């Protein structure tokens, strides 16, 4: 009898623990469901704000819906909410998508407008406390305006990072991908949708569409357009190779990658506005095997060394453009991952290009 009682007690405890765990709310909070008084308590200088970004009107071939990117953004934000202490704002559904405008239903706004939307939203929210933002980005063409937004916000003491959708799950994609080329409505993206929203996929209309003369440029319905990548379907890749199993691998790798990026943002120090961009520029840039340019910060001042016998303070003209005393000018550029990797120097009338 005693053993039965113990078994019954253990069973009750397990059932209670299951009920308790199921009743626990997700750590992520959706700001839209709160009052302003509740929001005031949630927003501080330690808050990580997540802003999802996904097109709700952008072609994705004959087999996927126009709202494809929006669905991915909504899914990913819900997954992040289950494990991360973040405050999630509503998904932005319009941005910079110029490569698809020939296809009915597709929309895009100018790059400058797209950059301003993100910058201004973050600026407004930051006035309530937060200084760290993560844009849960589901596009590729969106990367350029997001980098512009990032630079502008850095100069105001606001840190914003974003998902690079091509790289966040890159290793997993390489391991399963069979198509020879493609990045849009293709094997990978279609597989993702078969995993997260299979009812939105019509595989009977999936196609392989990789142009013979592949190259850069927007997709076009005109086979004679010399400036575009001809695609009668709006697909770039081979959607017929998509499977739910591949989608699961990609999505889970994506969630893991985004989680790592949010954790890294959480741990990063909040720097004064005047030093955020400067700190990112610090490093050594090589002009030739024997000649380098070094940028350092000394007592809050950005210093240049490498030409002439002494260090010279850099004086900002605007953004990432500086004068080097009276002898030259320096402009620093970011690479496709957002890091400062290239330095242009005009020194006493001569031009130099230096790389990290």
All structural domains of the chain, each given as residue ranges with its CATH number in brackets, are 22-267 (3.40.50.10310), 273-355 (2.40.128.50)
Residue 90: helix, strand or coil by DSSP?
coil
Query: How far apart, in whole angstroms, are the C-alpha atoms of residue 330 and residue 62?
Result: 48
Render the burial of 151-183: b for 16+ CB within 10 Å, e for the rest.
Answer: bbbbbeebbbbbbbbeebbeebbeebbebeebe
- pLDDT at residue 271, rounded to an integer: 59
**What is the mean pLDDT of the segment spanning 243-270?**
94
Question: What average pLDDT does the segment 189-209 reach?
Answer: 98
pLDDT at 290: 86
pLDDT at site 21: 47
Structure tokens at 242: 């998509």
205 has pLDDT over 90: yes
Mean pLDDT of 66-91: 98
Element (H, E) at 139: none
Q: What is the pLDDT of residues 162-185, one digit of tens each?
A: 999 999 999 999 999 999 999 999
CA distances from 101 to 92, 111, 219, 228 (A): 19, 14, 8, 12
pLDDT of residue 20: 45
- Lowest model confidence (mean pLDDT) among 4-13, 137-146, 172-181, 211-220: 4-13
* Joined tokens for residue 64: 């996927």
Once rounded to an integer, what is the mean pLDDT over residues 26-35?
96
Structure tokens at 321: 């453009």
Residue 3 pLDDT greater than 60, yes or no: no
User: Residues 332, 319: contact at Cβ < 8 Å?
Assistant: no
Q: Which residues pair with 237 in a beta bridge?
A: 209
Rounded Cα distance, 356 and 346, in Å: 17
Residue 191 has pLDDT above 80, yes or no: yes
Distance CA 8, CA 295 (A): 69
pLDDT of residue 188: 98
State how far the Cα of 127 lies from the Cα of 208, in Å rounded to an integer: 48
- Of 236, 249, 242, residue with least CA distance to 194: 242
Gap between the Cα atoms of 86 and 28, Å rounded: 5
Average the pLDDT over 331-339 and give the result. 79
The pLDDT of 225-254, averaged and rounded, is: 96
- Burial (CB < 10 A; 0-12, 13-18, 19+), residue 25, is exposed
pLDDT value of residue 241: 98
What pTM was computed for the model? 0.74
């Amino acid at each position: 009898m005693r053993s039965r009682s113990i078994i019954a007690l253990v069973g009750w405890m397990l059932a209670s623990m299951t009920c308790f765990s199921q009743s626990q709310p997700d750590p992520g909070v959706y700001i839209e469901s709160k009052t302003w008084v509740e929001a005031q308590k949630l927003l501080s200088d330690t808050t990580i704000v997540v802003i999802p970004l996904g097109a709700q009107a952008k072609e994705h071939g004959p087999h996927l819906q126009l709202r494809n990117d929006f669905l991915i953004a909504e899914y990913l934000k819900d997954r992040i909410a289950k494990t991360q202490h973040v405050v999630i704002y509503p998904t932005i559904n319009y941005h910079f998508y110029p490569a698809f405008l020939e296809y009915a239903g597709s929309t895009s706004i100018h790059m400058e407008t797209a950059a301003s939307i993100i910058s201004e939203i973050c600026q407004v929210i930051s006035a309530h406390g937060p200084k760290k933002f993560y844009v849960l980005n589901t596009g590729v063409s969106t990367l350029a305006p997001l980098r512009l937004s990032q630079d502008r916000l850095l100069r105001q003491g606001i840190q914003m990072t974003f998902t690079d959708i091509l790289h966040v799950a890159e290793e997993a994609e390489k391991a399963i991908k069979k198509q020879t080329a493609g990045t849009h409505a293709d094997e990978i993206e279609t597989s993702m949708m078969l995993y997260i929203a299979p009812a939105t996929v019509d595989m009977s209309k999936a196609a392989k569409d990789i142009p013979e003369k592949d190259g850069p440029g927007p997709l076009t319905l005109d086979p004679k357009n010399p400036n575009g990548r001809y695609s009668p379907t709006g697909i770039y890749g081979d959607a017929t190779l998509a499977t739910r199993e591949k989608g699961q691998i990609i999505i889970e790798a994506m969630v893991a990658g985004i989680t790592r990026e949010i954790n890294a943002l959480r741990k990063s120090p909040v720097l004064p506005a005047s030093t955020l961009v400067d700190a990112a520029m610090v490093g050594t840039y090589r002009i030739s095997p024997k000649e380098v340019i070094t940028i350092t910060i000394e007592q809050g001042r950005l210093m240049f060394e490498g030409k002439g016998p002494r260090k010279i303070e850099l004086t900002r003209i605007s953004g990432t453009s500086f004068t080097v005393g009276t002898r030259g000018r320096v402009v620093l550029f970011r690479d496709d991952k957002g890091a400062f990797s290239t330095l242009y120097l005009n020194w006493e009338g001569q031009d130099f290009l230096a790389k990290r």
